[in-house]
Chain A
């Protein structure tokens, strides 16, 4: 068990204790913690992971190799405790070494942004530079480097907002780079030395702060007592910042500190913290537990462990589940998808979560583990009300098991939002339709953004079941669906708009499946 964090920042080794661990990464950088001095190139414009001005690259060692894989991350909503055994590279750290002349210090993305007039006020620019580097890093994973397409370029930069340029010049900068190789960061920094240092630290748990020693063994059947949160003196039971390295340690710690926050990507936690809705002192990080790193298809069932990030799932489902993959590419931003996870999203229980309607119609099952054992819960039973879950205080979601649709299943997933990318949905819907010839054999429908939880639409399902698959039938089902939901009016849309969307999506779905849509989805 280690009692401090170890990470690298622009090639320099940093160690941090409990007080610095709960800072956001951007605070750590901008306030000049450690030996780095103030690194103010990482800008804060929204503090909620929605503009990308704070984008940094975070390198993770590849097991058994002398290299790191870098991904973009929003530093404003990431915490320092997530950086253990990572290499953080900021805009100050991508360029040439300080001894080089200013002219040669610019990297190709930086140079391209200068030449293409990619900056105006400059505030978002470091974030774009880092996102371009992120694209280059991803492209450099292929041998030979494959570059990126126009679509990949646009999606790769969709996590960064700019108010001045109108983006065209930034795209031009990005395109000018597609053909050439941007030197990967592993050439800029001594990856072997960093990896060796991390390897030497080993796969041990880390615990920072906390007011008493970790408990020995499982609590003796005292779950009920433990659930009485208020009976516990928060200070006396603080588990501090805990980064377990095994599932056993995770569950044991969870049982002892049921009020601790389980954190995977912190993409929602960071926002709440910046809005000063919560304070962070009692945390369990789930992303370093190998048992939770499961991402595979077994006997036609997709298993996604709690430590699997959205971007890994996105890549994994590209051919496996194209409709799901397409929704995932519009989930948050690339930076958010690199941090956040499906299981975190499930636990967060937002009724407008983009992924959940699919898992409703696929009849996914959550696997929950605690020191008492393991159990499975169908997803529709897991959600009992607005942010009310069938989850005991000592339980942890370890995995989501999803039966994959067979060839007979037509799967259509919809996300309607005010803006196409980097927006929270107004309405989400999933259609799972099995047809035999022109008749509907079975049908499952789910909608999000229309009530306190994602809901199935049983009346619409019943109306369609065993009927002919016609536009009229779908329209009629759409009208029924309206009556099954009770959406709210909020900043993302009026209740009437949501009702109309749900109704209309039935017809839209029909046209897409019938091949009569004028524009390919």
Chain B
């Protein structure tokens, strides 16, 4: 019986529930181990005048204080643009930017030393917001452009706006979001005997960590090994930003010859690490009486923080998702990353997609009000239409095919009882003096693949042992998403084994090298395919050997590998199914080894057919799209702005799920994370650039009591999808954007008591934001607080 398609528990579930699963801080203390911490910039922008380490050095237990001068290589790195110093030299680019790394024998000594490092600096006026960066011309990378086929001509593009029955324009704001992985950034560095170093890191990106540590220490990559057993959550926050803590631990290990571990506390982690980018978008849309989009223009600006990190790539995905699931005949999109004095912003589930999707979903909600149609009908009117070449081409030229978007919307409309609830809500709003309700549907079409072509590759190592058990290693990392569980199922099925006989091993760069980060929702797609390719190699050898072994010329069975079946724990020739002529799988493996058959293989996979030219803004960046829709209902207290999510209905096409239990968890978890982004997760900074919300006390991720009482999640079968691993689809990021349904429902609710055509609302729609909008709409007072 294949295990693919079954909801096997997470392969660490037992360890999770018993507390036996280990994270970096749980690993046994090593003899002589040092605690590692850092001291960062006291200002968001400035220059170091002097650095005094003398007092800190006197603290008993302090073993080393390291600065950029202690690096073994050049002091800069970056996944795309190498503009970020490991440790600040003279220029200080953001508050808490690491300057000094400390190694100490106790945590108390470390904290004491941190207090005694004296950094004297000349503060400069920081650039904190997008507006300030625009004024100062402070940017990262070039402004990128994407123009849909047909929209190249200025006159034609402007004519579309000039002649359209309706147009809307505005400026849209979305704030950032903290990843809030539960395990903070952490790494343990173990010095080797010849100057080499092994780093055990909570990272989505072991190869990058290996490379960065090697660079920082002046070592060859072959002298550094990076391991990751599991992460206590990643969400993109450990794609690049796990590197600096790993470098800190490795520097201390290298300089002292002692094991060294860094585990950031929550406060430091939130202060120093990058987050989802805040965006500001100028948009205009042209549409007809039915709400059908005729043309759209969007100028995206993101707050990139002090260094490039992944910001340009994040912006690229925003531009590639400016259409979401809707066909826009004429579209122009630009994207510019702003350089500011905040920590460099980085990957977070959705990777720029949410910020793009939010803008067009906001437009569609407003369009529906202008033309007086239900928003669900306006969305339906604008959906990409499968098989219709007139309504299938994206603004970057890729054809959206083999999808069931229309069916998803129709099915969800029925299953969520949308029309009846719309009427009930209208009645409620007509009489309620205290609350308003809103209902909204939103969709997602999320492109799967790294938009940077070379990252779409993976390798895997499969070791088959002589008892018929298997170890699989890939470059994929387990952060809770169930990658290992799925790979285990795939490999078990490939050998026809019970999943218990397959074990997915901790990720290390000595088994799998030159790997891509576990990101872009593609972890299973890439690493699973590589693992299967390795399995196929081994199986071919086994079949070849089995064909000879089971050959029986007397009975007319000539050796024929194509007739060898490896399934259900047995190896046999399908022309001779007699149970007595079957060989038990484990026994067969032992025999194969004795006959010098190679029972291990390294598999490789590269996604076919993806390519994208970022200079022209054209190409086929995506292997396929994961799609879905959500309907959400909310109730808002008109006096306080408090919002309650009453009900959510989600329907997604995730292909043929390898593990529906795991995938359902991704859908629900992603959705609620998206709801957090659009409701209560509110990053507040002071005028000096210091983050004020630095822990769960002040930064409010969704609580269990915030989840809807009625919560339906279903999957839509899509027989047209024949691509990818076992016809599955990636699932990690797409559902996050369905959380926008809650925000749209809030917007819908706000408009209910007003004749205003457009109800401006920013992300996140906190109680404060909602109350401000309610007050502004009801009294036509200016909005109480200008948000940036």
* Of the residues B266, B435, B696, B698, contact of A519 by C-beta under 8 Å: B435
Are B680 and A500 in contact (CB-based, < 8 A)?
Answer: no
Q: Does A143 have its Cβ within 8 Å of any Cβ on chain B?
A: no
- Most chain-A CB neighbours within 10 Å: which of B18, B20, B702? B18
Are A508 and B182 in contact (CB-based, < 8 A)?
Answer: no
Are B14 and A114 in contact (CB-based, < 8 A)?
Answer: yes
* Nearest CB of chain A from residue B292's CB, rounded to whole Å: 35
Chain B residues with CB below 8 A from A117, complex form: 7, 9-10, 13, 661-662, 664-665
Are A158 and B19 in contact (CB-based, < 8 A)?
Answer: no
* Of the residues A42, A91, A421, A494, contact of B784 by C-beta under 8 Å: A494
Q: Does B433 have its Cβ within 8 Å of any Cβ on chain A?
A: yes
Are A165 and B266 in contact (CB-based, < 8 A)?
Answer: no
A92 in contact with B18 given A115-B9, A508-B640 (CB within 8 Å): yes
Q: Does A177 have its Cβ within 8 Å of any Cβ on chain B?
A: no
Q: In chain A between 500 and 521, which residues have their CB closer than 8 angstroms to a CB of chain B?
A: 500-501, 504-505, 507-508, 511, 516-519
* Nearest CB of chain B from residue A353's CB, rounded to whole Å: 15
Q: In chain B between 756 and 788, which residues have their CB closer than 8 angstroms to a CB of chain A?
A: 766-768, 771-772, 775, 784-785
Q: In chain B between 702 and 750, which residues have their CB closer than 8 angstroms to a CB of chain A?
A: 702-707, 711, 713
Are A516 and B17 in contact (CB-based, < 8 A)?
Answer: no
A129 in contact with B640 given A160-B704, A497-B771 (CB within 8 Å): no
In Å, the complex CA distance between A166 and B736 comes to 11
Q: Does A53 have its Cβ within 8 Å of any Cβ on chain B?
A: yes
In Å, the complex CA distance between A505 and B638 comes to 10
* Of the residues B428, B671, B713, B784, contact of A518 by C-beta under 8 Å: B428
Chain B: which residue is nearest A129 at the CB level?
B17
Q: Does B181 have its Cβ within 8 Å of any Cβ on chain A?
A: yes
A516 in contact with B704 given A44-B25, A501-B640 (CB within 8 Å): no
Q: Does B119 have its Cβ within 8 Å of any Cβ on chain A?
A: no
Question: Of A185-193, A216-224, A412-420, A449-457, which binds chain B?
Answer: A412-420
Chain B: which residue is nearest A110 at the CB level?
B17
Chain A residues with CB below 8 A from B775, complex form: 500
* Of the residues A114, A124, A125, A505, contact of B640 by C-beta under 8 Å: A505
Chain A residues with CB below 8 A from B701, complex form: 161, 163
Are B680 and A125 in contact (CB-based, < 8 A)?
Answer: no
Are A45 and B182 in contact (CB-based, < 8 A)?
Answer: yes
Question: Of A167-175, A207-215, A281-289, which binds chain B?
Answer: A167-175
A505 in contact with B266 given A496-B785, A517-B434 (CB within 8 Å): no
Chain A residues with CB below 8 A from B693, complex form: 491
* Of the residues A109, A170, A419, A519, contact of B700 by C-beta under 8 Å: A419
Chain B: which residue is nearest A95 at the CB level?
B18
Are A493 and B232 in contact (CB-based, < 8 A)?
Answer: no
Q: Does A244 have its Cβ within 8 Å of any Cβ on chain B?
A: no
* Nearest CB of chain A from residue B318's CB, rounded to whole Å: 23
Interface string of A137-153 (1 = CB under 8 A from B): 00000000000000000
Question: Of B475-483, B501-509, B517-525, B596-604, which binds chain A?
Answer: B475-483
Q: Does B465 have its Cβ within 8 Å of any Cβ on chain A?
A: no
In Å, the complex CA distance between A336 and B711 comes to 29
Q: Does B175 have its Cβ within 8 Å of any Cβ on chain A?
A: no
Are B233 and A168 in contact (CB-based, < 8 A)?
Answer: no
Q: Does A492 have its Cβ within 8 Å of any Cβ on chain B?
A: yes
Q: Does A266 have its Cβ within 8 Å of any Cβ on chain B?
A: no
In Å, the complex CA distance between A161 and B432 comes to 34
- Most chain-B CB neighbours within 10 Å: which of A416, A418, A494, A516? A418
Q: Does A164 have its Cβ within 8 Å of any Cβ on chain B?
A: yes
Q: Does A134 have its Cβ within 8 Å of any Cβ on chain B?
A: no
In Å, the complex CA distance between A51 and B692 comes to 18
Chain B residues with CB below 8 A from A38, complex form: 26, 28
Are A50 and B767 in contact (CB-based, < 8 A)?
Answer: no
Are B26 and A40 in contact (CB-based, < 8 A)?
Answer: yes
Q: Does B2 have its Cβ within 8 Å of any Cβ on chain A?
A: no
A491 in contact with B181 given A419-B703, A497-B785, A504-B639 (CB within 8 Å): no
Are A171 and B707 in contact (CB-based, < 8 A)?
Answer: yes
* Of the residues A40, A496, A504, contact of B19 by C-beta under 8 Å: A40
Chain A residues with CB below 8 A from B184, complex form: 45
Report the interface size for chain A: residues with CB under 8 A from the other chain.
86
Chain B residues with CB below 8 A from A113, complex form: 13, 16-17
Q: Does A48 have its Cβ within 8 Å of any Cβ on chain B?
A: yes
A154 in contact with B13 given A40-B22, A504-B640 (CB within 8 Å): no
In Å, the complex CA distance between A490 and B428 comes to 35
In Å, the complex CA distance between A378 and B367 comes to 58
A493 in contact with B12 given A123-B232, A422-B703, A507-B639 (CB within 8 Å): no
Are B696 and A50 in contact (CB-based, < 8 A)?
Answer: yes
Are B16 and A122 in contact (CB-based, < 8 A)?
Answer: yes
Interface string of B253-281 (1 = CB under 8 A from A): 00000000000011100000000000000
Chain A residues with CB below 8 A from B580, complex form: none
Chain A: which residue is nearest B684 at the CB level?
A491
Are B785 and A163 in contact (CB-based, < 8 A)?
Answer: no
Q: Does B207 have its Cβ within 8 Å of any Cβ on chain A?
A: no
Are B17 and A416 in contact (CB-based, < 8 A)?
Answer: no
Are A418 and B767 in contact (CB-based, < 8 A)?
Answer: yes
Are A120 and B640 in contact (CB-based, < 8 A)?
Answer: no
Chain A residues with CB below 8 A from B12, complex form: 119, 122
A50 in contact with B703 given A119-B16, A494-B785 (CB within 8 Å): no
Are A43 and B111 in contact (CB-based, < 8 A)?
Answer: no
Are B703 and A491 in contact (CB-based, < 8 A)?
Answer: no
Chain A residues with CB below 8 A from B321, complex form: none
Chain A: which residue is nearest B481 at the CB level?
A120
A418 in contact with B481 given A117-B10, A126-B17 (CB within 8 Å): no
Q: Does A480 have its Cβ within 8 Å of any Cβ on chain B?
A: no
Are B17 and A497 in contact (CB-based, < 8 A)?
Answer: no
Chain A residues with CB below 8 A from B7, complex form: 117
Are A276 and B28 in contact (CB-based, < 8 A)?
Answer: no
A158 in contact with B703 given A117-B9, A416-B767 (CB within 8 Å): yes
Chain B residues with CB below 8 A from A51, complex form: 182, 696
Q: Does B386 have its Cβ within 8 Å of any Cβ on chain A?
A: no
Q: Does A47 have its Cβ within 8 Å of any Cβ on chain B?
A: yes
Chain B residues with CB below 8 A from A355, complex form: none
Are A121 and B233 in contact (CB-based, < 8 A)?
Answer: yes
Interface string of B470-491 (1 = CB under 8 A from A): 0000000001111000000000
Q: Does B21 have its Cβ within 8 Å of any Cβ on chain A?
A: yes
In Å, the complex CA distance between A419 and B695 comes to 14
* Of the residues B230, B661, B662, contact of A122 by C-beta under 8 Å: B230
Are B768 and A518 in contact (CB-based, < 8 A)?
Answer: no
Q: Does B622 have its Cβ within 8 Å of any Cβ on chain A?
A: no
Q: Does A424 have its Cβ within 8 Å of any Cβ on chain B?
A: yes
Q: Does B69 have its Cβ within 8 Å of any Cβ on chain A?
A: no
Are B665 and A120 in contact (CB-based, < 8 A)?
Answer: yes
Are A500 and B668 in contact (CB-based, < 8 A)?
Answer: no
Q: Does A463 have its Cβ within 8 Å of any Cβ on chain B?
A: no
Chain B: which residue is nearest A489 at the CB level?
B785
A120 in contact with B19 given A419-B706, A511-B434 (CB within 8 Å): no
In Å, the complex CA distance between A419 and B699 comes to 10
Could you tell me which B residues sit within 8 Å of A by CB distance?
7, 9-10, 12-23, 25-26, 28, 111, 180-184, 230-235, 265-267, 428, 431-435, 479-482, 635, 637, 639-640, 642, 644, 661-662, 664-665, 668-673, 680, 682, 684, 692-693, 695-698, 700-707, 711, 713, 766-768, 771-772, 775, 784-785
Closest 10 pairs between A and B when the two form their complex, measured CB to CB: A41-B19, A121-B480, A122-B16, A123-B232, A166-B672, A518-B432, A120-B480, A123-B182, A40-B26, A166-B668
A sample of 30 cross-chain residue pairs with beta-carbon separation below 8 angstroms, ordered by A number, consists of A38-B28, A39-B19, A40-B19, A46-B695, A102-B14, A110-B17, A114-B13, A115-B9, A122-B480, A126-B18, A154-B705, A155-B705, A161-B703, A162-B704, A164-B669, A167-B704, A168-B668, A275-B267, A419-B680, A419-B703, A421-B705, A490-B692, A494-B768, A496-B784, A497-B768, A497-B785, A500-B775, A508-B637, A517-B435, A518-B428
What 10 additional pairs, Cβ within 8 angstroms, besides A102-B14, A117-B662? A45-B183, A46-B695, A50-B697, A113-B13, A119-B10, A120-B233, A122-B12, A122-B21, A500-B771, A519-B434
